[in-house]
Amino acid sequence: ANLAGNIRYLDNRKDEQERLITMKSSNISLLFRTSKEEEPYLVNLIDSPGHVDFGGEVSSAVRLSDGAIVVVDAVEGVCNQTHTVLRQAWDDKVKPCLVINKIDRLITELQLEPEEAYLQLNRTLESVNVIMATLFAEETLRTKGSTVDTSKLDFTEEELDDSDLFFSPERGNVVFACAKFGWGFRIQHFAEMYAKRLNMNKKVLNKTLWGEYFFNPKEKSIKSNSNGGKYPRMFVQFILKNIWHVYKVILEERSKEGTEKVLKVLGLKPPVREMRVFEQGDRGNPQTLLTSICRQWLPLSSAIIHMCIEKLPSPAEAQKNRIPKLFCSRLSETSSEELSSQTKTIEQSLMECNTSSDAPVVLFVSKVFAAPVGHSSGNIDSGPRIAMPQAKASGEVSEPEKDQETPSERFIGFGRIFSGTLRKGQKVYVLGPKYNPHYPDKHFSVLDVEDIYVLMGRGLEPIEEIPAGNVFGLGGIDSHILKTATVSSEPLCFPMLSVQFSQPIVRVAVEPRNPTEMPVLIEGLKKLNQADASVEIYVQESGEHVINA
């Protein structure tokens, strides 16, 4: 737990660890149990990049997800990539939640007062909600058609339930966090705490701990106005001032007595090792003590996982909204009765996220990545690590020797199963983007499923079968899938709509220094083209090999 925020477990590549950024999407499957009596929740967590240069990885992750956690810097606010990610989630019918991160920067860097910090957080939240309102308005215009008089549209009274549209702390879909030091909270945490301490209604506190609600300390009542600034804002009084006080006592004052008092009031156990910082004088690092206390008091993992469980849909719920956009617009393109009957069965199975053994298997591979042959639980590189033939000093091309240290590699499909249960050894059809069941002899290939993996961050765990609703790895696809593909047990299934990747912005012609090494270059370019969905490789009439990325 002490390494949370520092170990970067899902950043598999060496350059990701060195640059401290995520460059490739990677998945891990986690079980979470809210109590011993209840069944555990299975969470498929995909960590995708936030930098604009890796937009293709975000597109791949969005297609496989039912919900998204959008992270926004509390200081920097909304960036261009925030617009892009929210639009991708909206277009794919993926429900988002919001994390406003780096709250600590408001204290330590900007040195804002709690009321000023609230105004900064509110501006950030409103900026994100403006994007959501814009996306909703655009879809409303597309749905109602160009004949609508836009001057008469009232976007303050949405036809959609705005609980699914806007981010609002009182609804529980916003987390305020300091991810680096592992603490964060939803206002529901404080509502529950103060409901017990102050004998107040929890529902009332949930509603009033954010927004234009103020506390009258004399009457111990909640007001809708500040009475000329006399009454403190609820969010500031009950949440931010407490956090600011903890930071002040530990970082600025370095007061042992003040820290012990804070621990007593919060009901926390004193971290014995970290408390030695007061004995070390200037040599001690109070940040370690602060991190330990804040993680006990406001554990970020708890806030995030409970938000996901409560606010993000299960696969069965999500596919009812997502399938009509991703599949059914194509499934309805049928004319013959045989096709119509078969596609209706597939459509119903997709809508229900049917996991039964007799349900048609339908899955989508959104990207491929390289892993060593025979790999199971060791380290993997979720980015395109290309195994290329080696060139001898004389320029003669030779294949890698079996006893070399670097093992040969194979491609694994990064996919999501939407219907049925996929089993090892099963025969399925890989449907190309141009595949049409009216002409079933074109644009497809037959795949015998060799391996199925649970993706565990840096490792692959082989399994025998995988039911609908899960993200997984599919082996044996090297010669069948180039970048993305729909895979089905039924040849009468239409392919899913293609993933929309960002347009290439860099174009470069490549050639080997030694012309005799051209076969090595060609083989490497083929594998790069397969491993990175945002890369385009083609040969010009002049014979030049060109990379677009």
Of all residues in the chain, what percent are helix, strand and coil, respectively (each to 5)? 40, 20, 40
Give the closest residue to 107 by CA, choosing from 260, 4, 242.
242
pLDDT of residue 393: 36
pLDDT of residue 544: 87
d(CA 168, CA 158): 16
d(CA 319, CA 230): 50
SS3 of residue 16 by DSSP: helix
Fold (CATH) for 318-388+407-488? Elongation Factor Tu (Ef-tu); domain 3 (2.40.30)
Those residues whose C-beta lies under 8 Å from the C-beta of residue 474, and which sit 6 or more positions away, are 363, 365, 412, 413, 415, 422, 449, 451, 452, 453, 487
Question: Would you tell me the crossing angle of helices 315-323 and 337-352 to the nearest 10 degrees?
Answer: 140
d(CA 362, CA 366): 13
pLDDT of residue 446: 92
Beta bridge partners of 232: none
Helices (H) and strands (E) in the chain, counts: 16, 23
pLDDT of residue 152: 54
Q: What is the pTM of this model?
A: 0.84
User: Do the beta carbons of residue 472 and residue 455 sit within 8 Å?
Assistant: yes
d(CA 472, CA 44): 9
* Residues composing the chain: 549
d(CA 162, CA 40): 30
Q: Which residue has the tokens 């069941």?
A: 437
Cα-to-chain-centroid distance, residue 200: 36
Q: For residue 480, which amino acid is it? A: H
In the chain, which segments carry CATH 2.40.30.10? Answer: 318-388+407-488
pLDDT of residue 387: 39
User: Do the beta carbons of residue 366 and residue 499 sit within 8 Å?
Assistant: yes
In the chain, which segments carry CATH 3.90.1430.10? Answer: 67-311
d(CA 418, CA 338): 23
Q: For residue 93, which amino acid is it? A: K
Q: φ, ψ for residue 324 (rounded to 5)?
A: -55, -30
pLDDT in tens, the chain (549 residues): 556 656 677 777 777 777 777 878 889 998 988 878 788 899 999 998 877 777 788 888 999 999 999 999 999 999 988 999 999 999 999 999 999 999 999 999 999 999 999 999 999 999 999 999 999 988 888 776 655 555 555 555 445 455 578 999 999 999 999 998 999 999 999 999 999 888 889 999 999 999 999 998 888 889 998 888 889 999 999 999 999 999 999 999 999 999 999 999 999 988 888 888 887 766 678 999 999 999 999 999 999 999 999 999 999 999 999 998 887 555 555 555 656 777 888 889 999 999 998 999 999 999 988 887 655 554 555 444 433 333 333 334 344 444 444 446 788 999 999 999 999 999 999 998 888 887 878 888 999 999 999 998 878 899 999 999 999 999 988 888 888 899 999 988 888 888 877 777 788 899 888 889 998 888 888 888 877 777 888 888 888 888 887
Those residues whose C-beta lies under 8 Å from the C-beta of residue 203, and which sit 6 or more positions away, are none
Structure tokens at 364: 């989508």
pLDDT of residue 482: 81
Q: Does the domain spanning 67-311 belong to CATH 3.90.1430.10?
A: yes
